[in-house]
Amino acid sequence: MWKTRRRKKLFPQPLPPDWQRIVESHCPYYHRLSGADQRELRGHIQVFMAEKKFEGCGGLALTDQIKLCIAANACILLLHRQTDYYPDLQTILVYPGSYYAPVTRSIGHGVMTEGYQARGGETWPHGSLVVAWAEICKDLAADGRTSVILHEFAHQLDYEDGYADGAPLLGPATVTNSNAYRARKDRYTTWNRVMKSEYERLRARVGAEGQAIAEPQVLRGYGATNPAEFFAVAAESFFGTPREMLALHPELYAELKWYFQQDPAQWSQSLKVTG
């Protein structure tokens, strides 16, 4: 109850002028939103900034610019939806650029190799999320067509049902009657059918290099890694290149439109991003 009261108090408060300027210049989607959606986004930003902890890593000195950029873009995924603000996420770690993380790979016959991999972001089911500021700036320069922030926070949404499988929690966590149960079951059936079909389509394109070069690409090839990465890549494209996704992947667009309760293909195309 204390958390709910605090959120209700924070949500309607206007952003400080300096914060407002940062949001306008560092969230590629902000100026595409309606006035009502901009107000809702500002409310979510207030709550997010109050509840999440940020830590600079690798010598990075955190600024309001960095924190608000991450908060504003992360909160795009929360518009129009009942949300608990990424409840399992406590800390956002920000590196100045790509960082190296330990990885273990199987090379077959039970043999494993250990090494390090350069990354621009990653997240875990509980606790922390990591992003690289240089990768965020690169996305801003591309007007948000790709977004490491949306990608990693989409993983957080995927984790909310306890599994990283590309199928986030669709509807309420609990249902109270048989009609609601059947509706949720039907929603998962449709979601799984569309996602599996689009995932296999992407895998086929990535596997056929000649076709991959010739075919218009809305979904990054990284989405072919596994279903969880496919969902995160699809979320990027849904907000970053919505009209292209609607034209080339209408069923996928329809599922994400239902889940996010948004229709970015209908947003204004105006941009005001300075990086």
pLDDT value at position 273?
Answer: 47
Please check whether residue 62 lies inside any domain of the structure: yes
pLDDT band at 16 (very low <50, low <70, confident <90, very high): very high
d(CA 221, CA 212): 9
pLDDT value at position 268?
Answer: 78
What is the tens place of the pLDDT at every residue in 218-267?
999 999 999 999 999 999 999 999 999 999 999 999 999 999 999 999 99
What is the tens place of the pLDDT at every residue in 252-265?
999 999 999 999 99
SS3 call for 145:
coil
Please check whether residue 273 lies inside any domain of the structure: no
d(CA 43, CA 15): 8
* Whether the predicted pLDDT of 71 surpasses 70: yes
Contact assessment for residue 101 and residue 122, using Cβ atoms and an 8 Å cutoff: yes
- Give residue 78's domain range: 2-105+113-266
d(CA 93, CA 130): 5
Residue 132: both structure tokens together: 């690289």
Please check whether residue 272 lies inside any domain of the structure: no
pLDDT value at position 215?
Answer: 56
Please check whether residue 127 lies inside any domain of the structure: yes
Contact assessment for residue 193 and residue 209, using Cβ atoms and an 8 Å cutoff: no
Unique residue bearing structure tokens 């908060």 = 71
pLDDT value at position 102?
Answer: 66
pLDDT value at position 69?
Answer: 98
The structural domain count of the chain equals: 1
Please check whether residue 226 lies inside any domain of the structure: yes
pLDDT value at position 255?
Answer: 98
What is the tens place of the pLDDT at every residue in 137-159?
999 999 999 999 999 999 999 99
**Closest C-alpha to 87, from 25, 156, 186, 176:** 156
Please check whether residue 224 lies inside any domain of the structure: yes
Quick count: other Cβ atoms within 10 Å of Cβ 221? 15
pLDDT value at position 207?
Answer: 82
pLDDT band at 211 (very low <50, low <70, confident <90, very high): low
Q: Using alpha carbons only, give the angle 217, 258, 229 rounded to the nearest 5 degrees.
A: 45
pLDDT value at position 274?
Answer: 46
Domain of 125, CATH number, reads 3.40.390.10
pLDDT value at position 173?
Answer: 66
Please check whether residue 271 lies inside any domain of the structure: no
pLDDT value at position 99?
Answer: 84
pLDDT value at position 275?
Answer: 47
The mean pLDDT of the chain is: 90
Query: Helices 227-240 and 148-159 sit at what angle, rounded to 10 degrees?
Result: 130
How large is the average pLDDT for residues 111-130? 82
Please check whether residue 172 lies inside any domain of the structure: yes
* Whether the predicted pLDDT of 180 surpasses 90: no
